Amino acid sequence: MRLILLGPPGAGKGTQAKILIDAFGIPQLSTGDILRSAIAAKTPMGLAAKEIMDRGDLVSDEIVNGIVSERLDQDDCRAGFVLDGFPRTIPQAEALDTMLKTKGMALDAVLELTADPDVLVGRIAKRAKESGAVRADDNEDVLRNRLAVYREQTAPLVSYYRGKGMLKSVDGTQPVDVVSAAIRSVLGR
Protein backbone atom coordinates (compact mmCIF):
# COMPACT_ATOMS: atom_id res chain seq x y z
CA MET A 1 0.00 0.00 0.00
CA ARG A 2 1.66 3.25 -1.14
CA LEU A 3 -0.08 6.33 0.16
CA ILE A 4 0.27 10.08 0.43
CA LEU A 5 -1.40 11.94 3.30
CA LEU A 6 -2.29 15.49 2.32
CA GLY A 7 -3.84 18.21 4.46
CA PRO A 8 -3.16 21.43 6.36
CA PRO A 9 -1.02 21.49 9.52
CA GLY A 10 -3.05 20.28 12.48
CA ALA A 11 -5.49 18.22 10.37
CA GLY A 12 -4.22 14.98 11.93
CA LYS A 13 -1.89 13.60 9.24
CA GLY A 14 0.68 12.37 11.79
CA THR A 15 -1.96 10.65 13.94
CA GLN A 16 -3.58 8.93 10.95
CA ALA A 17 -0.19 7.96 9.50
CA LYS A 18 0.60 6.10 12.76
CA ILE A 19 -2.71 4.23 12.57
CA LEU A 20 -2.07 3.29 8.92
CA ILE A 21 1.45 2.00 9.58
CA ASP A 22 0.08 -0.30 12.30
CA ALA A 23 -2.79 -1.46 10.10
CA PHE A 24 -0.71 -2.19 7.00
CA GLY A 25 2.75 -2.86 8.48
CA ILE A 26 4.38 -0.17 6.35
CA PRO A 27 6.66 2.70 7.40
CA GLN A 28 5.68 6.35 7.81
CA LEU A 29 7.89 8.70 5.80
CA SER A 30 7.61 12.09 7.45
CA THR A 31 9.92 14.70 5.94
CA GLY A 32 9.19 16.90 8.98
CA ASP A 33 10.37 14.13 11.37
CA ILE A 34 13.50 13.49 9.28
CA LEU A 35 14.31 17.22 9.23
CA ARG A 36 13.74 17.51 13.01
CA SER A 37 16.16 14.60 13.56
CA ALA A 38 18.71 16.36 11.36
CA ILE A 39 18.30 19.52 13.48
CA ALA A 40 18.74 17.53 16.70
CA ALA A 41 21.86 15.87 15.29
CA LYS A 42 23.14 19.28 14.12
CA THR A 43 23.94 18.00 10.63
CA PRO A 44 24.63 20.60 7.91
CA MET A 45 21.17 19.90 6.47
CA GLY A 46 19.60 20.37 9.92
CA LEU A 47 21.44 23.63 10.49
CA ALA A 48 20.29 24.92 7.09
CA ALA A 49 16.66 23.89 7.71
CA LYS A 50 16.19 25.10 11.31
CA GLU A 51 15.48 28.80 10.75
CA ILE A 52 13.19 28.08 7.81
CA MET A 53 11.20 25.55 9.85
CA ASP A 54 11.00 27.83 12.88
CA ARG A 55 9.30 30.42 10.66
CA GLY A 56 6.91 27.84 9.24
CA ASP A 57 8.27 28.27 5.70
CA LEU A 58 9.19 25.42 3.37
CA VAL A 59 12.73 24.08 3.05
CA SER A 60 13.95 23.70 -0.53
CA ASP A 61 12.49 21.12 -2.88
CA GLU A 62 16.02 19.93 -3.55
CA ILE A 63 16.57 19.01 0.12
CA VAL A 64 13.28 17.21 0.66
CA ASN A 65 13.33 15.44 -2.72
CA GLY A 66 16.76 14.07 -1.79
CA ILE A 67 15.52 12.91 1.62
CA VAL A 68 12.55 11.07 0.13
CA SER A 69 14.46 9.48 -2.73
CA GLU A 70 17.04 8.05 -0.32
CA ARG A 71 14.38 6.89 2.12
CA LEU A 72 12.37 5.10 -0.59
CA ASP A 73 15.44 3.01 -1.43
CA GLN A 74 15.51 1.44 2.03
CA ASP A 75 14.30 -2.14 2.34
CA ASP A 76 11.34 -1.42 4.60
CA CYS A 77 9.68 0.62 1.82
CA ARG A 78 9.35 -2.36 -0.49
CA ALA A 79 5.99 -3.36 0.98
CA GLY A 80 4.74 0.22 0.80
CA PHE A 81 4.81 3.47 2.74
CA VAL A 82 2.77 6.41 4.00
CA LEU A 83 4.19 9.75 2.91
CA ASP A 84 3.31 12.34 5.55
CA GLY A 85 4.17 15.96 4.76
CA PHE A 86 5.56 15.27 1.30
CA PRO A 87 4.95 16.38 -1.42
CA ARG A 88 4.14 19.96 -0.40
CA THR A 89 4.58 21.72 -3.75
CA ILE A 90 3.76 20.89 -7.37
CA PRO A 91 7.47 20.57 -8.27
CA GLN A 92 7.84 18.08 -5.37
CA ALA A 93 4.87 16.09 -6.68
CA GLU A 94 6.39 16.04 -10.17
CA ALA A 95 9.74 14.96 -8.72
CA LEU A 96 7.95 12.20 -6.80
CA ASP A 97 6.24 10.98 -10.00
CA THR A 98 9.64 10.69 -11.68
CA MET A 99 11.23 9.05 -8.62
CA LEU A 100 8.50 6.43 -8.33
CA LYS A 101 8.63 5.67 -12.04
CA THR A 102 12.41 5.20 -11.88
CA LYS A 103 12.09 2.95 -8.83
CA GLY A 104 9.26 0.95 -10.42
CA MET A 105 6.73 1.94 -7.75
CA ALA A 106 3.14 3.22 -8.14
CA LEU A 107 0.94 5.10 -5.70
CA ASP A 108 -2.32 3.51 -4.55
CA ALA A 109 -4.03 6.66 -3.32
CA VAL A 110 -3.67 10.22 -2.08
CA LEU A 111 -5.68 10.80 1.10
CA GLU A 112 -6.69 14.38 1.74
CA LEU A 113 -7.65 15.24 5.33
CA THR A 114 -9.82 18.33 5.11
CA ALA A 115 -10.12 20.90 7.91
CA ASP A 116 -11.33 24.48 8.25
CA PRO A 117 -8.29 26.75 8.86
CA ASP A 118 -10.14 28.70 11.59
CA VAL A 119 -10.76 25.48 13.52
CA LEU A 120 -7.05 24.62 13.25
CA VAL A 121 -5.87 28.02 14.52
CA GLY A 122 -8.31 27.81 17.44
CA ARG A 123 -7.16 24.27 18.29
CA ILE A 124 -3.45 25.09 18.32
CA ALA A 125 -3.90 28.38 20.19
CA LYS A 126 -5.87 26.54 22.90
CA ARG A 127 -3.23 23.81 23.15
CA ALA A 128 -0.43 26.41 23.41
CA LYS A 129 -2.23 28.29 26.19
CA GLU A 130 -2.93 25.10 28.12
CA SER A 131 0.68 23.88 27.90
CA GLY A 132 2.00 27.27 29.01
CA ALA A 133 5.35 26.27 27.54
CA VAL A 134 5.41 28.83 24.77
CA ARG A 135 3.75 32.15 24.10
CA ALA A 136 0.45 31.40 22.46
CA ASP A 137 0.71 34.41 20.15
CA ASP A 138 4.12 33.29 18.85
CA ASN A 139 2.78 29.87 18.10
CA GLU A 140 -0.32 31.28 16.52
CA ASP A 141 1.74 33.51 14.21
CA VAL A 142 3.81 30.60 13.01
CA LEU A 143 0.73 28.46 12.52
CA ARG A 144 -0.98 31.21 10.52
CA ASN A 145 2.09 31.37 8.31
CA ARG A 146 2.11 27.58 7.88
CA LEU A 147 -1.57 27.70 6.91
CA ALA A 148 -0.86 30.49 4.37
CA VAL A 149 2.02 28.45 2.95
CA TYR A 150 -0.30 25.42 2.74
CA ARG A 151 -2.98 27.41 0.93
CA GLU A 152 -0.54 28.92 -1.56
CA GLN A 153 1.90 26.08 -2.22
CA THR A 154 0.38 22.78 -1.11
CA ALA A 155 -3.38 23.10 -1.73
CA PRO A 156 -2.82 23.02 -5.54
CA LEU A 157 -1.83 19.36 -5.05
CA VAL A 158 -5.48 18.55 -4.36
CA SER A 159 -6.38 19.37 -7.99
CA TYR A 160 -3.16 17.80 -9.22
CA TYR A 161 -4.02 14.41 -7.72
CA ARG A 162 -7.75 14.74 -8.40
CA GLY A 163 -6.82 15.17 -12.07
CA LYS A 164 -4.93 11.89 -11.90
CA GLY A 165 -7.98 10.18 -10.35
CA MET A 166 -6.05 9.37 -7.16
CA LEU A 167 -7.60 11.75 -4.62
CA LYS A 168 -9.75 10.51 -1.72
CA SER A 169 -10.97 13.16 0.73
CA VAL A 170 -11.94 12.60 4.35
CA ASP A 171 -13.17 15.16 6.90
CA GLY A 172 -10.22 15.43 9.31
CA THR A 173 -12.12 17.37 11.97
CA GLN A 174 -14.08 14.29 13.13
CA PRO A 175 -12.87 12.18 16.10
CA VAL A 176 -9.68 10.20 15.39
CA ASP A 177 -11.38 6.78 15.18
CA VAL A 178 -14.11 8.11 12.88
CA VAL A 179 -11.45 9.57 10.55
CA SER A 180 -9.45 6.32 10.52
CA ALA A 181 -12.59 4.27 9.79
CA ALA A 182 -13.46 6.66 6.94
CA ILE A 183 -9.93 6.25 5.55
CA ARG A 184 -10.18 2.46 5.62
CA SER A 185 -13.55 2.73 3.90
CA VAL A 186 -12.31 4.95 1.04
CA LEU A 187 -9.30 2.65 0.62
CA GLY A 188 -11.65 -0.35 0.52
CA ARG A 189 -9.40 -2.13 3.06
> Would you name the residues annotated as active-site residues?
13, 88, 127, 135, 146
Closest CA to 113 of 185, 56, 168, 42: 168
187 φ, ψ (degrees, to nearest 5)? -80, -15
Is residue 2 part of the contact set for ligand AMP (CB under 6 A)?
A: no
Shortest Å distance, C-beta 51 to ligand AMP:
10
Among 11, 17, 19, 64, binds ligand AMP (CB under 6 A): 64
Handedness of CA 107, 108, 112, 113 (dihedral sign): negative
Q: How many residues does the chain have?
A: 189
Residue 93 CB, shortest distance to ligand AMP, in Å, is 10
58 near ligand AMP, rule: CB under 6 A? yes
7 binds ligand AMP (CB under 6 A): no
140 CB neighbour count, 10 Å cutoff: 16
Could you tell me the smallest distance in angstroms from the CB atom of residue 108 to ligand AMP?
20
3-state secondary structure of 59: coil
Nearest approach, Cβ of residue 159 and ligand AMP (Å):
18
Q: Count the helix, strand and coil residues of the chain and give each as a percent rounded to the nearest 5.
A: 60, 10, 25
Closest CA to 7 of 69, 60, 85: 85
Cβ atoms 93, 160 nearer than 8 A: yes
The yes or no reply on residue 46 touching ligand AMP (CB under 6 A) is no
Closer to ligand AMP at the Cβ: 59 or 115?
59
As a whole number of Å, the CA-based R_g of the chain is 16
Considering only 81, 86, 150, 161, the residue that binds ligand AMP (CB under 6 A) is 86
At 13, give phi and psi (nearest 5°).
Answer: -60, -45
Least distance in Å: CB of 53 to ligand AMP? Answer: 4
Examine residue 157 and tell whether it contacts ligand AMP (CB under 6 A): no
Indicate the pairing of strand 167-171 with strand 81-84: unpaired
Q: Is 35 in the site for ligand AMP (CB under 6 A)?
A: yes
Among 4, 6, 11, 59, binds ligand AMP (CB under 6 A): 59
* Positions in the binding site for ligand AMP (CB under 6 A): 9, 31-32, 35, 52-53, 56-59, 64, 85-86, 88, 92, 146
